[in-house]
Amino acid sequence: MRLPSGTYNVSYEKDMAIIRTRTQWSIFILFILFLFLLPLIPGIGSRYVLGMVNMALIWVVAVLGLAILTGFCGQISLGQAAFMACGAYTSAILMTHLNISFWLSMPIAILLTALIGLFFGLPALRLKGLYLLMTSLAAQYIITYIILHIPALTHGGEGMKVPLAHLGDFAIVSATSNYYLILINAILATFVAVNIGRSQIGRAFVAIRDNDIAAEVMGVDITKYKLMAFAIGCGFAGWAGALSANNSQVISVEQFTLMHSLWFIGALIVGGMGSVLGTILGVMFIRILFEGSATLAPVMARMLAGEASIGSIGQLVFGLAVILFLIFEPRGLNHRWQILKAYYRLFPFSH
């Protein structure tokens, strides 16, 4: 990290710090304050915007898991939405059938999803690339099938009502209270993800991504770390799922389809793989694209006086946006942001 002149790292902690100078600390604290005070800002604090922000933050947690699994460790997974479903349904089932409170059922859901992820990660020990992708695709379908076929627990395809989380007597049901719940969890998740990336585990992951045979030769236990990557990645998905269950109050398999897994991967790529900031940017981009196409498509289609065109405009714009993005900026928004920062820092010089 570039430090301002006059700042020296005189200890290991100082050298490793993410937020190093006082300026950076103040910006950081202001930003966190801003996030917590968001609902109070008129206009932005409305149910609509908060609702969108909630969904986006839930996605951030899920895609952070994918960032660890695919971005850091290079294990491609098309099943992230199915693991989210695992987390959501586990949390809901524990709360409904065993009357466990949300604060306990969420961690259990995370652990259980991590275990399921571990199971589906076993093929990763033998497979790479496209083959691993197929395994995760199979996981997506199989998990959905299982959820649909244990109606005693999951109400099958009708969807399941989720009991609300309670803080004492206060039910976390409004957009604002959900916002705070999800925000705290999202901040925690980001903290965990960033630090995993900087730890020995993260380095092992990156080594495996770059060349797993070489990593093994150098002494990295790829079995342990690949399975760990799946466990952590799917654990994050379960986390997001449990939060999503409380937010929507009704869960059904249609919220966790293959298309959702694909959008997660899209958010990861658009943001820039292998970086936490990229994840956040990517999720924001995709959510805005969604909202935009869902709201504008009917309007545009009416204006263009086409009839069958309504549905198509949304899909068209989406596909086009993804294609253009991937062709012109395959390293993602994160890369653009780094370039922007460098430009600001070096201005008026170019290097």
Partner 1 sequence: MTKKKMYCLISVVITLSLVLGCISCAPKAAAPAEKPAAKRTVTVTVGALLDESGPTATSTLPGVYGLRDFNDYVNKKGGLDWSGGKVIVQVEEYDNRYDPSLSLPAYEKWAARGIPLIITHQSTDNLGLKDRAARDQIVILTLSPTSGALMPPGWVFATYPSYADSFTGFLDWVKKTWDWKGKGTPRVATLTWDTAYGKAHMCAVDYAKEIGIDYVGTEYTTTLPTDITPQVTRLKAMKADYVFTQAVTPIAVYLKDFKRLGFNGRLVVGLNTGLSEWIPIAGVDTAAGTLSVKGLTMISAEPEDSRYMKKAREVTEFLGVTRDLRALTFYPNGTSGIMLIQDIIVRALDKVGDPDKVTGKVLYDTLLETKKYDTLGATMPLSYDETQRRGSMGIRMYEAQPDGNVTMIQDWMVVHDALKHYPECAK
Partner 2 sequence: MVTGIITAVITGALIGCVYSLIALGIVLIYKTTQVFNLAQGEMLLIGTWLTWTMITVANLPFWLSLIIALLFSILLGMLIERFILRPMLGQPLLPIIMITIGIFSLLRGISIYFWGGEVQSFPPLFPIEVITIGFIPVSTHLLAAAIMATLLVIVTYAYFRFTRGGLAMMATAENVMIAQSLGTNVKAAFSRSWAISAMVGTLSGVLLGSIMGIFFGLSDLSFKAFPVIILGGLESIPGVLVAGPIMGICESLGATFLDPMVGGGIGDIVPYVVMLIVLVIRPSGLFGYKIIERV
Does residue number 55 form part of the binding site for partner 1 (CB under 8 A)?
Answer: yes
Please choose, out of 135-143, 158-166, 199-207, 268-276, the segment that lies near partner 1 by the rule CB under 8 A: 158-166
Number of helices (H) and strands (E) in the chain: give both, helices first: 15, 4
Out of 249, 320, 326, 346, point to the residue binding partner 1 (CB under 8 A).
249
* Closer Cβ to partner 2, 37 or 142, answer by number: 142
> Crossing angle of helices 80-97/47-66, nearest 10°?
110
Does residue number 294 form part of the binding site for partner 2 (CB under 8 A)?
Answer: no
Q: In angstroms, rounded to a whole number, what is the distance separating the alpha carbons of residues 71 and 268?
A: 8
- Enter the tokens of residue 298: 């009917």
* Closer Cβ to partner 1, 163 or 233, answer by number: 163
Does residue number 307 form part of the binding site for partner 2 (CB under 8 A)?
Answer: yes
Using the CB atoms, write b or e for 267-295: b if 16+ within 10 Å.
Answer: bbbbbbbbbbbbbbbbbbbbbebbeebee
Amino acid code (one letter) for 343: Y
* Closer Cβ to partner 2, 180 or 290, answer by number: 290
HSE-CB of 46 using CA atoms within 13 angstroms: 5
Instruction: Note whether 63 and 267 are within 8 A (CB).
Output: yes
What is the contact surface with partner 2 in residues (CB under 8 A)?
A: 70, 76, 122-123, 126-127, 129-131, 133-135, 137-138, 141-142, 145, 149, 211, 213-214, 217, 258, 262, 265-266, 269, 273, 306-309, 311-323, 326-327, 330
The residues of the shown chain that bind partner 1, judged by CB under 8 A, are 4, 21, 23, 26-27, 30, 34, 41-44, 46-52, 55, 148, 155-159, 161, 175, 244, 247-250, 252, 254-255, 257, 259-260, 290-291, 293-295, 297-298, 307-308, 310-315
